[in-house]
Amino acid sequence: MTALATRESSAPTPQVPTSTSGSRRTAGSRRPRAGHFFVLPYVVLLALFGVIPVVYSIYLAFTKAGGGFAGFSNFTRSARDYRFVPAIEHVAMYVAIWLVALIVLVVLLALVVHRLVSGKAKAVVRFAYYIPGALAGASSVLLLLFVLDPTVSPVAMILRWTGNEHFTDVITPHHLPVIFAIIAFWTGAGGWILVLYGALNTIPAEVMEAAKVDGAGPVRTALNIQLPMIRKWVSYMVILSLAAGTQLFVEPELVSQASFGIVPNDYSVNQLAYQFAFTQNDFNGSAAISIDLLVVALLCAGLFVARGKLFETD
């Protein structure tokens, strides 16, 4: 990239003269580059709706309700809540099931759909797989109420076959991680299949041709050529899905409404944060729980950013 940088600085680009020297060739120059102008609107929005809220939440997490410094007391208080540990267990079980299923199946389906010959078939399949992703929130509550009830469900046969005769049988506690995983996959897979499909499209046709000529079958092509080339996309998906999984909120909230409260609305850690803020009026404790979730997500993200080389450019 250094050669490019040299060329950039020799071409006529708008330059604001500053008093600092700073070599024009090094990336750490303080003089506003064209890049700064490209990202400026985004930086404004990022500051307003990203950075300030995050910093404010950190501020809340370490202060008391009245305003004084609280140390770690918000964290210990929220962690000692009787719902905290069960919520962590619930989320851990859910993530273990859902994340693996999501990654494996989405990658598999994206590869398979990409391999289809007919463009029409590809379009139809992508559309069909995406439709559930358009449903969100309130739309799904009624749907869940009926689909999970063996007496009226369109999938009654499957429910009965797994030994459930009544709605309350289906939503017993040890079924819940699986149910939430299925719902989350049902709504979320289509979008990610779309993204990975687009990613697979970015692999130049010559590479695929060469692999074919080499005699590589679909599985070998996928494992040795396609997946490595979309590594950044896959690691992006893993990071976001991990965060989304640990921040499980929508699915238990919907099933809680559909079950009229039998599934509680503090099942997951994120729901607990919400309850702290808006039921108990304890915004500080809520912020502490959110920071807990953020730290977990960051640790996992760091791991995948490194392995997937997400931050490296050409």
Of 7-15, 85-93, 95-103: span binding another protein (CB under 8 A) = 7-15
CA 63 from chain centre, in angstroms, equals 29
Under the criterion CB under 8 A, does residue 80 sit at the interface with another protein? Answer: no
Under the criterion CB under 8 A, does residue 85 sit at the interface with another protein? Answer: no
Work out the burial of residue 276: count CB atoms within 10 Å of its CB; fewer than 13 is exposed, 13-18 middle, 19 or more buried: buried
Nearer Cβ to another protein (107/273): 273
3-state secondary structure 109-154: HHHHHHHCCCHHHHHHHHHHHHHHHHCCCHHHHHHHHHHCCCCCCC
| Distance separating alpha carbons of residues 229 and 135, to the nearest angstrom | 32
Which of 93, 178, 186, 227 touches another protein by CB under 8 A? 186
- Residue numbers 224-283 binding another protein by CB under 8 A: 225, 229-230, 232-233, 236, 239-240, 243, 247, 249, 257, 259-262, 264-265, 270, 273-274, 277-283
Under the criterion CB under 8 A, does residue 118 sit at the interface with another protein? Answer: no
Under the criterion CB under 8 A, does residue 6 sit at the interface with another protein? Answer: no
Under the criterion CB under 8 A, does residue 46 sit at the interface with another protein? Answer: yes
Under the criterion CB under 8 A, does residue 223 sit at the interface with another protein? Answer: no
Nearer Cβ to another protein (179/239): 239
Nearer Cβ to another protein (31/93): 31
| Distance separating alpha carbons of residues 313 and 35, to the nearest angstrom | 15
- Residue numbers 126-185 binding another protein by CB under 8 A: 126-139, 141-143, 145-147, 149, 151-156, 166-169, 171-173
Structure tokens at 86: 């069960």
Among 90, 64, 67, 87, which residue's Cα sits nearest to residue 75? 64
Under the criterion CB under 8 A, does residue 22 sit at the interface with another protein? Answer: yes
State whether residue 83 is helix, strand or coil.
Answer: coil
Question: Minimum distance from CB of 203 to another protein (Å)?
Answer: 8
| Distance separating alpha carbons of residues 170 and 203, to the nearest angstrom | 44
